[in-house]
């Protein structure tokens, strides 16, 4: 299976400059904003923030650079679009299709870390039609990217598959030590760490399948092995003793690690697998292999491969470095998306994304 017949050949992007607006200034958004300000071929056009306490403040203050930009954040979408950006880096906590369509129809392309647009065929048909109509009206395109899903589930596997002529299984394992993440609401209330072991809630498995499934479907389409179904399973491991993490206490016998497996099935056989092993340190009672934070990729085929991609810094530096993994790829994609034909564009439609440095 290939990109839709309506997809035009990828255009060669110009170096720029491109006028870029940053939508939201949370952890990832602030890193992207700083990258725009410092980029040699991007010009900051505007900043959007939902937070009243950020509105009016200079972009430099919001992203931690020294030199004022003269551009203050706004909470008015009309004001932001009035700055005539070529592209909006759209990084809200949740994707609003009304906002997306308004931006696209106004003539601004979108690069987003919201995972909604990784695989157009996985979209609700009504939503897809609305977004594509907005792209046609504005002559614009939209592209979802990030680190995971995105870089590790699309860009890297496509490169690894390029030296195969037979692929049995391509597996991606994501390891994350969360012991130094001070986010009690996320770790305890959402992810269930420190709680009683039991079956994974179906709603959470559905959420994770919907988060990673479209990206796996896109990858499968790209290598000619379209998926018949995507499944999700989950299991937990418990703490061997009571211990403390940055977010609080993990009592003995409660959930200290979890493994979620998203499987892509082609003709009754799992050909793609994404597995997240998220844990709170080494005190989990499990037979699973626990690796340093990062990714492990395994390719079973006629050119087998084993690859480790480890985050090479101490856990107490995670907050300093980790936003770059998601934000930077989005920033680097701007010129490619601006050059693309109107529509929802994926890594199968765009040229390989390379960085413009220096």
The whole-model pTM stands at 0.93
Pairing outcome for strands 109-112 and 141-144: parallel
Residues ≥6 apart with Cβ < 8 Å to 144:
112, 113, 114, 115, 116, 117, 118, 150, 346
Q: Give me the residue spans of the domains in the chain.
A: 18-145+333-344, 151-315
Task: Please give the order of strands across the beta sheet that includes 255-266.
Answer: 284-285, 229-239, 255-266, 269-279, 167-177, 294-301, 305-310
What span, in angstroms and rounded, lies between the C-alpha atoms of 16 and 137? 23
pLDDT tens, the chain, 358 aa long: 444 444 555 566 777 899 999 999 999 999 999 999 999 999 999 999 999 999 999 999 999 999 999 999 999 999 999 999 999 999 998 999 999 999 999 999 999 999 999 999 999 999 999 999 999 999 999 999 999 999 999 999 999 999 999 999 999 999 999 999 888 999 999 899 999 998 888 888 999 999 999 999 999 999 999 999 999 999 999 999 999 999 999 999 999 999 999 999 999 999 999 999 999 987 888 889 888 899 999 999 999 999 999 999 999 899 899 999 999 999 999 999 999 999 999 999 999 999 999 8
Task: Please give the order of strands across the beta sheet that includes 18-23.
Answer: 73-74, 42-48, 18-23, 87-90, 109-112, 141-144, 343-344
Question: Is residue 264 within 8 Å of residue 230, measured between CB atoms?
Answer: yes
- Residue 146: C-alpha distances to residues 271, 273, 316, 331, 344 (Å): 23, 18, 22, 10, 16
Question: Is residue 43 within 8 Å of residue 50, measured between CB atoms?
Answer: no
Question: Is residue 216 within 8 Å of residue 122, measured between CB atoms?
Answer: no
Helix (H/G/I), strand (E/B), else coil: 90 = strand
CATH of 18-145+333-344, one of 1.20.1250.20, 3.30.565.10, 3.40.50.1370, 3.40.50.720: 3.40.50.720
Identify the pLDDT of residue 7: 52
């Amino acid at each position: 299976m290939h990109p839709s017949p309506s997809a035009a050949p990828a255009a060669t992007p110009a170096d720029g400059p491109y006028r870029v607006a940053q939508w939201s200034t949370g952890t990832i958004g602030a890193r992207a904003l700083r990258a725009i300000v410092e980029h040699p071929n991007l010009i900051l056009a505007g900043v959007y923030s939902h937070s009243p306490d950020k509105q009016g403040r200079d972009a430099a203050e919001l992203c931690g650079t020294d030199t004022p930009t003269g551009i203050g954040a706004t909470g008015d979408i009309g004001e932001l679009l009035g700055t005539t950006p070529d592209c909006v880096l759209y990084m809200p906590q949740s994707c609003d299709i009304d906002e997306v369509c308004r931006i696209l129809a106004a003539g601004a392309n979108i690069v987003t870390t919201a995972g909604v647009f990784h695989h157009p065929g996985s979209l609700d048909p009504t939503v897809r039609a609305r977004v594509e109509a907005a792209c046609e009206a504005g002559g614009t395109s939209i592209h979802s990217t990030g680190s995971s899903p995105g870089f590790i589930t699309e860009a890297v596997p496509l490169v690894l598959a390029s030296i195969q002529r037979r692929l049995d299984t391509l597996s991606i394992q994501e390891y994350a030590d969360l012991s130094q993440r001070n986010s009690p609401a996320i770790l305890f209330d959402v992810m269930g760490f420190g709680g009683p072991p039991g079956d994974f809630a179906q709603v959470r498995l559905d959420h994770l399948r919907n988060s990673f499934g479209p990206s796996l479907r896109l990858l499968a389409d790209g290598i000619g092995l379209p998926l018949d179904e995507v499944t999700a399973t989950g299991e937990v491991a418990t703490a061997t003793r009571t211990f403390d993490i940055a977010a609080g206490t993990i009592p003995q016998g409660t959930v200290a690690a979890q493994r979620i497996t998203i499987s892509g099935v082609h003709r009754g056989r799992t050909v793609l697998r994404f597995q997240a092993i998220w844990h709170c340190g080494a005190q989990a009672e499990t037979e699973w292999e626990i690796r340093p934070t990062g990714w492990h990729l395994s390719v079973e085929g006629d050119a087998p491969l084993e690859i480790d991609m480890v985050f090479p810094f101490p856990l107490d530096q995670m907050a300093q470095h980790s936003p770059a993994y998601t934000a930077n790829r989005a920033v680097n994609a701007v010129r490619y998306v601006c050059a693309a034909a109107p529509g929802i564009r994926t890594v199968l439609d765009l040229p390989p994304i390379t960085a413009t440095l220096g």
